[in-house]
Amino acid sequence: MLIEMRGIEKVYKLGSERVNALRGIDLDVSEGEYVALTGPSGSGKSTLMHLIGCLDSPTAGRYLLAGSDVSSMSDAALARVRNRQIGFVFQTFNLLPRATALHNVEIPLIYGGFGTRERRRRATAALERVGLADRMKHQPNQMSGGQRQRVAVARALVTDPSILLADEPTGNLDTATGNSILELFAQLHASGQTIVLVTHEADVAAHARRHIVLRDGKIESDDANKKESAG
Ligand SMILES: Nc1ncnc2c1ncn2[C@@H]1O[C@H](COP(=O)(O)OP(=O)(O)OP(=O)(O)O)[C@@H](O)[C@H]1O
Ligand SMILES: [Mg+2]
C-alpha cells in the first residue's frame, strides 16, 4: 500500500479557538491509483492533501507512506520524504517568475543534490514529457496559463515521485485548457503514475478512477468502499 492512513485527525489552533479540520480519516491508496477528492469548501480537502504530501503532520492518527511511518517525523525528515516521494501541483502554478521553464523544473533536483548535467538532462526530459520541448527557455510571463501549469507538472514529476498531488490544478484555467491538463494527467496515470487530485468540480473529478467525498472533516463516500460492499 502506498498511502495508509488510520484515524487521522487535524486540529488547527487559532488563539483560543480550535478548528477540527479532519476528524478521523481512514484511507488506503494503492500504487497506480487515480483518486479525486471532492467536498464542500472547508470540508478538509487541502488539509488532507497537505498531510498526504508531508507538508504538515496530523494531530492524531497514523500515516504510513510507502511503508514508513511519517506521522511523527521531524520537519527535516519530512522535507526529505517530500523531495523524494511527492510532486505537487497547485492552482496558482507557484513558479519562479524570473526563471526559465528549464530552471523552474530543475529546482527540486538542486534540493535533491543532483549535479548540473544530470539536472539538465532530467529537467529537459520532464519538459518533453509534458509537451514543452520548445518552451524550455521561456519565463512564466512568456507562456500561457496552460503552459505554466505544464511547467509546474514537469517540476512535480522531475524527481520521479511516488505520488503526484494536485490541488485544484485546473482552477485558474479556462475549460479547454483545463481539459488539456486533465488529458495530461490521464496519460501520466496510464503510464503508472499515482495521482491524487483535489477539485470542487464534478466534471473534473469524473476524470479520476476513484472518487472520495469529504464532509466536515470525514470521508462521506468512497467509490472503493462501495465496490467492496457491493461485491
Ligand atoms: N492554517 C489554518 N489555520 C486554521 N484553520 C485552518 C487552517 N487551514 C484550514 N483551516 C480550517 O480547516 C478547515 C478545512 O480547511 P481546508 O482548507 O482543508 O478546506 P478545503 O476543503 O480545502 O476548502 P476549499 O474547497 O475552500 O479549498 C476549514 O474550516 C478551515 O477554515
Ligand atoms: Mg482547499
Taking the CA atoms of 185, 188, 192 and 193 in sequence, report the sign of the dihedral they define: negative
C-alpha cell recorded at residue 98: 524570473
pTM of the model: 0.94
Residue of 12, 48, 196, 213 best suited for mutating to test ligand 1, as the one with most atoms within 8 Å of CB: 12
- Rounded to the nearest whole angstrom, what is the distance from the C-alpha of residue 162 to the centroid of ligand 1? 25
Q: Report yes or no: 20 and 11 within 8 Å, Cβ to Cβ.
A: yes
pLDDT of residue 224: 82
Whole-number pLDDT of residue 142? 97
Residue 12 Cβ inside 6 Å of ligand 1? The answer reads: yes
Nearest CA owner, ligand 1 atom 4:
12
Domains and CATH numbers, the chain: 3-230 (3.40.50.300)
pLDDT at res. 225: 67
pLDDT of residue 149: 97
Confidence (pLDDT) at 231: 41
- pLDDT averaged per 10 residues in sequence order, the chain, 231 residues: 98 95 98 96 97 96 96 92 95 96 96 93 97 97 97 97 97 95 96 96 92 97 70 41
What's the confidence (pLDDT) of residue 50? 96
Ligand 1 atom with the smallest distance to the CA of 47 is: 18
- Residue whose Cα lies nearest atom 1 of ligand 1: it is 12
Q: 18 CB less than 6 Å from ligand 1?
A: no
Spatial distance between the Cα atoms of 218 and 37, rounded to a whole number of angstroms? 12
Q: Assess whether the C-beta atom of 143 lies below 6 angstroms from ligand 1.
A: no
Report the 10 Å Cβ neighbour count for 23: 15
Residue whose CA is closest, atom 30 of ligand 1? 42
Q: Return the pLDDT at 202.
A: 87
Closest ligand 1 atom to Cα of 13: 4
φ, ψ dihedrals at 98, nearest 5°: -95, -5
Residue pointed to by grid coordinates 510571463:
141
Contact 123, 108 (CB under 8 A): no
In this predicted structure, what is the pLDDT of residue 112?
86
Q: Is residue 91 lining ligand 1, measured as CB closer than 6 Å?
A: no
